[in-house]
Structure 1
């Protein structure tokens, strides 16, 4: 089957996403408003009967002084990735973007490749011979993922192998940690937490930690903690206007798309986090905390409140987002992996991000430039 592709309206795109149980928060129209340095377009795939059967948010970033664009579909597009005619989905997208002036296209197929249970992750961290999660035998493998990767490779797509910083790759995370909620009561989810998590939640409750839901006006408080976290964990923080723009854009599309939670103790805000929701998928997006009063365990209390609210609203999965794939104890990100694994659930590897050069000379030149920065 051949598919016709054209630019669709925000309303068409949003209706398409709303009809599906899970679509990335980076594949809804409002995400384009979060990225003002990029030009956003909503693309739609139509079958022979004129039905909208696929959609994708593409972000276009122009090169300085040249009307050429880098096209990026983070965690998308939303198409039938298992279709035997996968090339018939991607070819019209490439043709459209080439006509738009794109010299290179990057996308992130929302396709799961492997999963590791929390117990396997815990054992791997404790094993001095295990250096990377990807080298550890997976609990489950998704056979379709290898076939999809093969089709992409044969069609001329290449998996990106970006440089890493402290274990995280540029772009969107290939490895994440998720807690499945489908068919599980909140009591069952609580029993899935490890002993340390359950102990810390009780300790926070006994100490009087109160987790509340905040709003736009609380973002500066969140950002103060976030900048402290960035300095402590050695990453470059986003400015406060980014989060304010994110809140305004996402909540305008859906009042519950983005939420802010804050953990208080005796009038002091000790931790805060943002939570995003699209359909049945809930993400812990950005987290922040101070080193003050760590003994009252505000982070566990904060996450448990967010997980409880996500379960109450009918979430199918609670997504802790990115984890490092390094297992070396000396790496400071292993502590974050251990914290997330303590919530039960599983580590998940996606197919990764893939690029297609529409102008090979320009693609190579830009790639070389970025590698030298």
Structure 2
């Protein structure tokens, strides 16, 4: 958590260098990789800007802003801070967000979109399993007994009171990043602890992969990964990103920190059967991308890759292994339920974050942007 700097109520926002930004990130226990200065080099279609919050001369907070121009209104931008900014969300958030709005409006932003990195609710694996088994429960939010974070609840209340507009849709996936995620807590746990927290199927699959001779290695052969990823996209019917995107991502993140991003390949008798990408910033590790072969699925290469990434995250001192987005459905008739069923097998917990919020700075331009997005059918 950034140092508290909002007590005086006089925080100034101004641009900082990538080096200043990175030094601030390194001083934090955990920061989203989407809020590292290198992420601006990955998102080449946006203009990136590092901003700092200053309490006098002290840098008290930082954020990566991605500026997205509006078609036919190029002089105005949507100022986007994915999973950020990195500020003290426990106090008076207006002391942080008001000077941000003043600065960005002066720079030509028609709206700010941000995603506070604060949890609002957490459900245990046992609660999720019970919900899936209960025909009366259709969504995570139908479950009772979850742990509710008072900081997250306060942040969402204050954003709403200040005129910010929630953007997270009912299914949890919107124009930006998912509001619902699945995470495995690692702090204070051993490999045996994590294994015992998994269900019988996950443990069996990890053992089967090892018994069948699946070997997982950390490599840099992005072409091998991308070929398998395109194969996976064709099978599972999603649009794959081009190889160039991954080359840019690895180059940018590795230049910032050689431990930031890794490619894991699982091989069985020479055949690549699964591949995954792990990103780490401080004490937080993310499973970012995965691919698997349709052939030899029985050797469980995907489980072997996941277990290798979890073990490496533990060895690196990570406190969270993040399996990224889920939809909040627990309805067995919903095709998305398979995603949460797969992830709940790891033990862990389902988490709802505050979600993404917009603050219109130029309401007429913002309404034109909303119409444009609706015509396009999404973000």
TM-score by length of 1: 0.96
Between 128-137 and 348-357, report the one with greater CA deviation: 128-137
Alignment partner, residue 63 of structure 1: 70
Following superposition, the deviation at residue 341 of structure 1 comes to 0.8
SS in 1 for 2:75: coil
Alignment partner, residue 218 of structure 2: 213
1:25 aligned residue (23, 27, 33): 33
Q: How far apart, in 1, do the equivalents of 2:369 and 2:12 lie? A: 31
Alignment partner, residue 3 of structure 2: none
Matched, 1:174 2:179: yes
Q: How far apart, in 1, do the equivalents of 2:372 and 2:326 lie? A: 28
Contact 2:70 2:369 survives alignment (8 Å) = no
Residues 306-328 of structure 1 show CA distances to partners (whole Å, capped at 9, x for unaligned) of 10011111111111011111122
Alignment partner, residue 327 of structure 1: 330
Q: How far apart, in 1, do the equivalents of 2:222 and 2:144 lie? A: 41
Alignment partner, residue 338 of structure 1: 341
Alignment partner, residue 20 of structure 2: 12
Residues 117-153 of structure 1 show CA distances to partners (whole Å, capped at 9, x for unaligned) of 0111112122222211122224311122222111111
SS in 1 for 2:188: coil
Matched, 1:91 2:91: no
Contact 1:163 1:170 survives alignment (8 Å) = no
The within-5 A match list for 1:30-109 is 30-48=38-56, 50-65=57-72, 66-83=74-91, 85-109=92-116
Aligned length: 367
Q: How far apart, in 1, do the equivalents of 2:179 and 2:235 lie? A: 24
Between 362-371 and 22-31, report the one with greater CA deviation: 362-371
RMSD: 1.3
Alignment partner, residue 165 of structure 2: 158
SS in 1 for 2:335: coil
The within-5 A match list for 1:1-373 is 1=8, 2-48=10-56, 50-65=57-72, 66-83=74-91, 85-162=92-169, 168-215=173-220, 218-373=221-376
Query: Which segments of 5 or more consecutive residues in structure 1 lack a partner in the other structure?
Result: none
SS in 1 for 2:117: coil
Following superposition, the deviation at residue 40 of structure 1 comes to 0.5
Relative to structure 1, the CA distance from residue 227 to residue 128 in structure 2 (aligned partners, 3 Å threshold; closer, same or farther) is farther
Query: Which segments of 5 or more consecutive residues in structure 2 lack a partner in the other structure?
Result: 1-7
